[in-house]
Structure 1
Amino acid sequence: MTTSTLRRALLACALLAGAFQLPAQAQQQKILRVTAIPDESPTELARKAAPLVKYLEQRLGMKVEFTPVTDYAASVETLINRKVDLAWFGGFTFVQASARSGGKVIPLVQREEDEKFKSVFITADPAIKTLADLKGKDVSFGAQSSTSGHLMPRSFLLQAGVDPDKDFRRVAYSGAHDATIAAVAGGKVQAGAVNISVWEKFVADKKVDTSRVHVFYTTPPYYDYNWSVSSEMAPELREAITKAFLDLNDKTPEGREVLSLQRATRFIPTKPENYKGIETAAKSAGLL
Structure 2
Amino acid sequence: MKLFKRCLFIALIAFASIARGEVFTFTAIPDEDETQLKLRFEKVARYLEKELGVEVKYLPVKSYSAAVTAFRNNQVQLAWFGGLSGVQARRLVPGSDAIAQGFEDQFFKSYFIAHKSAGLTPTTGFPGMSGLTFTFGSKDSTSGRLMPQFYIERNLGKRPKEIFSRIGFSGDHSRTIALVQSGVYQVGAVNYKVWETAVAKGKVDTSKVEIVWETPSYPDYQWTVRAGVNDVYGDGFKTRLTQTLLDMNDPELLASFPRKSFVPAVNQDYLPIEELAQSIGLLD
TM-score (norm 2): 0.89
C-alpha deviation, 1:18, in angstroms:
3.7
1:273 partnered with 2:268: yes
C-alpha deviation, 1:222, in angstroms:
0.2
What is the number of residues matched between the two proteins?
Answer: 270
Paired residues for 1:192-211 under 5 Å:
192-211=188-207
* 1:10 alignment counterpart: none
138, 142, 151: which one pairs with 1:143? 138
Q: Which runs of 4+ in 1 moved over 6 A?
A: 13-16, 23-27
Structure 1 CA distance, aligned partners of 2:197 and 2:39? 14
Indicate conservation of the 8 Å contact 1:119/1:195, yes or no: yes
Specify every segment of 5 or more residues in structure 1 that has no aligned partner in the other structure, as ranges: 1-12, 250-254
Assess, with a 3 A threshold, how the Cα gap between structure 1 residues 52 and 217 changes in structure 2: closer, same or farther. same
Q: Deviations over 1:75-108 (max 9, x none)?
A: 111111111111110000011112222x332111
1:184 partnered with 2:184: no
* 1:161 alignment counterpart: 156
For residue 263 of structure 2, give the secondary structure of its aligned residue in structure 1: strand
Indicate conservation of the 8 Å contact 1:87/1:228, yes or no: yes
Assess, with a 3 A threshold, how the Cα gap between structure 1 residues 133 and 30 changes in structure 2: closer, same or farther. same
* 1:47 alignment counterpart: 39
Indicate conservation of the 8 Å contact 2:14/2:53, yes or no: no
For residue 236 of structure 2, give the secondary structure of its aligned residue in structure 1: helix
* 1:172 alignment counterpart: 168
Structure 1 CA distance, aligned partners of 2:196 and 2:178? 14
Q: Deviations over 1:8-29 (max 9, x none)?
A: xxxxx98994487549987756
Deviating more after overlay: 130-139 vs 48-57: 130-139
1:99 partnered with 2:91: yes
Deviating more after overlay: 54-63 vs 185-194: 54-63
Assess, with a 3 A threshold, how the Cα gap between structure 1 residues 217 and 243 changes in structure 2: closer, same or farther. same
1:220 partnered with 2:201: no
User: Aligned AA for 2:48?
Assistant: L
1:33 partnered with 2:33: no
Specify every segment of 5 or more residues in structure 2 that has no aligned partner in the other structure, as ranges: none
Q: Deviations over 1:244-288 (max 9, x none)?
A: 111122xxxxx1111110111110110011101101110111110
Assess, with a 3 A threshold, how the Cα gap between structure 1 residues 243 and 20 changes in structure 2: closer, same or farther. farther
Assess, with a 3 A threshold, how the Cα gap between structure 1 residues 78 and 161 changes in structure 2: closer, same or farther. same
C-alpha deviation, 1:158, in angstroms:
1.4
* 1:5 alignment counterpart: none
Indicate conservation of the 8 Å contact 2:10/2:52, yes or no: no
Q: Deviations over 1:105-150 (max 9, x none)?
A: 2111000000000000001226123544211111000000000000
Pairwise CA RMSD of aligned residues?
Answer: 2.1
* 1:8 alignment counterpart: none
81, 85, 94: which one pairs with 1:89? 81
C-alpha deviation, 1:52, in angstroms:
1.0
TM-score (norm 1): 0.88
Indicate conservation of the 8 Å contact 1:114/1:224, yes or no: yes
User: Aligned AA for 1:233?
Assistant: V
Assess, with a 3 A threshold, how the Cα gap between structure 1 residues 270 and 136 changes in structure 2: closer, same or farther. same
1:114 partnered with 2:72: no
